[in-house]
């Protein structure tokens, strides 16, 4: 067991942090307030290789491990979760292509993400199917050598700006079993019948684009099937093992950002003739925030390590990490605002934004309640 990061990982972390401090921090506030997608920043991030670093070399990536990606995610989110998500989600859905896609799909859809020429998304949730994925009703029917897709998807990250999406569809409604009638299809924005509508008014991560997608007789060739027909559900569960680990890393980043800002403010702000960091109540908060963040980080790193090295406990670890780290993030952001007092309640300080941003980590890619259900189900050996 080795607890240290390699020199390469340290360098990676420092350079990503430098990028985030220089390119993201100065404008984070503006993009948040205006709910604006930071296309230029995502492009610069792509130049640096941040948008597809975990893709294999031959598809434009660097072959970075899940742990490396967790480190990158943590640093970006410590500076700004909104723009951080725009960068890390540029290839959301690519995990499915890497794992289950054909050679042609990998060649066509991965390099543009790494090069910053395209952005993608994963469309699972629907207006009536959130936690209960198996109730989704977007329908894909085979017509000759094409799929014809009808339905709508809700809350889709990169929905109004993305170039293509891995869409979870029902392809075989007549099979008896609840989980075997689904398939993942690649659907490009420029197909006839594809429409999207941006969702505004979000509590946090407001720079990130979220939209509703509608498919009205959208036709895609049969080659757009990702993986196997009817295996969409198990493929999705494997996809989630990876992406949930990344949400855990996002949460660790948010907690880290909140902690750093809280510590700095506590040392500066004076009341009763001394820095508030001298009051035990504040010291204990700082101590607890940092301790819990470190615990969340270790759980997240273990989950990330498991993605690449030990699949057995992965599903449970990913859910544990996501559930625990997202709680730590929302608590840390809450305490960071508390430590700032009135100053934390307005947008002069970043902690106000972090407080709003933290909440999403308890919701997307499976709510906290669902993660707990998964952990219990795994403990009791119940399958899904």
Ligand X SMILES: Cc1cc2nc3c(=O)[nH]c(=O)nc-3n(C[C@H](O)[C@H](O)[C@H](O)COP(=O)(O)OP(=O)(O)OC[C@H]3O[C@@H](n4cnc5c(N)ncnc54)[C@H](O)[C@@H]3O)c2cc1C
Q: Tell which one of 24, 42, 53, 354 touches another protein (CB under 8 A).
A: 53
**Least distance in angstroms from the C-beta of 165 to ligand X:** 9
Residues in a beta bridge with 184: 168, 226
CA 47 vs CA 53, 112, 115: distances in Å: 11, 12, 7
Helices (H), the chain: 7-19, 28-34, 39-48, 66-79, 81-88, 94-100, 103-109, 111-114, 232-268, 280-309, 314-340, 350-358, 368-379
Q: Residue 50 binds which entry of ligand X, another protein, none, with Cβ cut-offs from 5 to 8 Å by kind?
A: another protein
Q: Residue 18 binds which entry of another protein, ligand X, none, with Cβ cut-offs from 5 to 8 Å by kind?
A: another protein
Contact characters 109-128, ligand X, x per CB under 6 A:
------------xxxxx---
Q: 47 catalytic, yes or no?
A: no
Q: Which is nearer to ligand X, 12 or 321 (CB)?
A: 321
Q: Does 367 bind ligand X (CB under 6 A)?
A: yes
Distance CA 80, CA 38 (A): 12
Distance CA 131, CA 154 (A): 12
Distance CA 86, CA 73 (A): 11
Residues 72-101 that bind another protein (CB under 8 A): 72
Distance CA 239, CA 307 (A): 10
Q: Does 156 bind ligand X (CB under 6 A)?
A: yes
Q: Does 40 bind another protein (CB under 8 A)?
A: no
Q: Which is nearer to ligand X, 119 or 124 (CB)?
A: 124
Residues 13-32 that bind another protein (CB under 8 A): 15, 18-19
Q: Tell which one of 49, 111, 193, 230 touches another protein (CB under 8 A).
A: 49
Q: Which residues form the interface with another protein (CB under 8 A)? A: 7-8, 10-12, 15, 18-19, 47-50, 53, 62-64, 72
Which residues are known to be catalytic?
365
Q: Which residues form the interface with ligand X (CB under 6 A)? A: 121-125, 130-131, 155-157, 202, 205, 210, 360, 363-367, 369-370, 373
């Amino acid at each position: 067991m080795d607890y240290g990061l390699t020199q390469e990982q340290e360098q990676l972390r420092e350079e990503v942090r430098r990028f985030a401090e220089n390119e993201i921090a100065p404008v984070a506030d503006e993009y948040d307030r205006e709910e604006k997608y930071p296309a230029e920043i995502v492009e610069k991030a792509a130049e640096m290789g941040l948008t597809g670093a975990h893709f294999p070399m031959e598809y434009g990536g660097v072959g970075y491990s899940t742990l490396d990606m967790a480190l990158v995610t943590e640093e970006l989110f410590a500076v700004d979760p909104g723009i951080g998500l725009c960068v890390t989600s540029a290839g959301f859905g690519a995990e499915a292509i890497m794992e289950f896609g054909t050679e042609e799909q990998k060649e066509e859809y991965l390099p543009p993400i790494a090069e910053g020429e395209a952005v993608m998304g994963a469309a699972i949730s629907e207006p009536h199917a959130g936690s209960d994925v198996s109730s989704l009703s977007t329908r894909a029917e085979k017509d000759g050598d094409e799929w014809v897709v009808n339905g709508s998807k809700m809350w889709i990250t990169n929905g109004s700006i993305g170039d293509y999406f891995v869409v979870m569809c029902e392809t075989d409604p007549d099979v008896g079993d609840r989980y075997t009638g689904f398939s993942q299809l690649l659907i490009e924005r420029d197909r006839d019948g594809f429409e999207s509508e941006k969702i505004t008014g979000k509590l946090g991560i407001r720079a990130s684009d979220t939209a509703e997608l509608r498919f009205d007789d959208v036709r895609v060739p049969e080659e757009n099937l990702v993986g196997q027909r009817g295996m969409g559900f198990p493929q999705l569960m494997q996809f989630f093992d990876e992406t949930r680990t990344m949400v855990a890393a996002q949460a660790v980043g948010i907690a880290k950002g909140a902690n750093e800002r809280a510590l700095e403010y506590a040392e500066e702000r004076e009341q009763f003739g001394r820095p508030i960091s001298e009051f035990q109540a504040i010291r204990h908060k700082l101590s607890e925030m940092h301790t819990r963040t470190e615990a969340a980080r270790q759980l997240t790193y273990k989950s990330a390590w498991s993605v690449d090295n030990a699949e057995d406990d992965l599903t449970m670890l990913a859910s544990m990490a996501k559930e625990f780290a997202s709680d730590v993030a929302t608590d840390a952001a809450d305490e960071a605002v508390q430590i700032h007092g009135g100053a934390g309640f307005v947008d002069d300080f970043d902690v106000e934004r972090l407080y709003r941003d933290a909440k999403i980590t308890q919701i997307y890619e499976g709510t906290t309640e669902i993660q707990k259900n998964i952990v219990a189900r795994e403990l009791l050996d119940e399958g899904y």
